[in-house]
C-alpha cells in the first residue's frame, strides 16, 4: 500500500499532491491525517520556507517509524532552487527510514499562484513512470 501526505501553506504543494495522486491512483491527504496502517511507499510533500521545510512537516516526519514506512519519496514546490530534501532526509535517516533517490521538485512555483505548468505536469508523470518501472 502507498500513501501521500503533504503540508502546504499557500496551496501550491496541495495542487502538486493532488496531481501526483491522480497519476498514482491513490488519495493525497494532509499531514494532519495519520497513517492508518503500514505503507510500502510514503510520498511526502512540502514547500520550502526561509530555506527550510515547515516545522509542521518536520514534526510529522519525526512521528514516523520504520515499522510504518518502508521507503519515502519526496516531492515539493519552491519559488527558488531550494527543496525540502536535505532537511527531511536528515530527520528520516535518524528515524532509520530509507529515502528514495528518486524525487520530484517543481521550482518557480510562486506563492498563492499555484500554476503548475504543462512542463511541470510532465515532470510529475516522468517521476511516476520511473518509480513504477
- Looking at the whole model, is its pTM more than 0.95? no
**Smallest Cα–Cα separation from 130: which of 90, 110, 101, 106?**
101
**Smallest Cα–Cα separation from 79: which of 18, 127, 12?**
12
pLDDT digits (tens, 9 = 90+) for 89-114: 999 999 999 999 999 998 876 555 55
C-alpha distance from residue 7 to each of 17, 24, 42, 133 (Å) = 9, 18, 14, 27
Is 39 in contact with 47 (CB distance < 8 Å)?
no
Q: For residues 96 and 50, what is the distance between their CA atoms, to the nearest angstrom?
A: 26
pLDDT digits (tens, 9 = 90+) for 29-79: 999 999 999 999 999 999 888 788 999 999 999 999 999 999 999 999 887
Beta strands 39-49 and 52-53, pairing class = antiparallel
pLDDT digits (tens, 9 = 90+) for 18-31: 999 999 999 999 99
Amino acid at each position: 500500500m502507498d500513501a501521500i501526505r503533504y503540508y502546504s501553506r499557500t496551496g501550491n504543494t496541495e495542487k502538486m499532491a493532488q496531481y501526483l495522486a491522480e497519476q498514482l491512483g491513490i488519495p493525497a491527504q494532509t499531514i494532519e491525517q495519520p497513517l492508518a496502517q503500514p505503507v510500502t511507499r510514503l510520498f511526502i510533500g512540502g514547500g520550502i520556507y526561509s530555506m527550510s521545510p515547515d516545522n509542521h512537516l518536520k514534526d510529522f516526519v519525526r512521528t514516523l517509524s520504520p515499522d510504518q514506512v518502508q521507503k519515502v519519496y519526496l516531492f515539493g514546490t519552491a519559488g527558488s532552487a531550494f527543496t525540502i530534501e536535505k532537511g527531511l532526509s536528515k530527520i528520516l535517516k535518524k528515524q532509520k527510514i530509507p529515502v528514495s533517490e528518486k524525487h520530484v521538485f517543481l521550482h518557480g512555483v510562486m506563492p498563492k499562484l499555484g500554476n503548475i505548468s504543462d512542463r511541470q505536469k510532465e515532470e510529475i508523470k516522468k517521476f511516476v513512470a520511473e518509480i513504477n518501472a
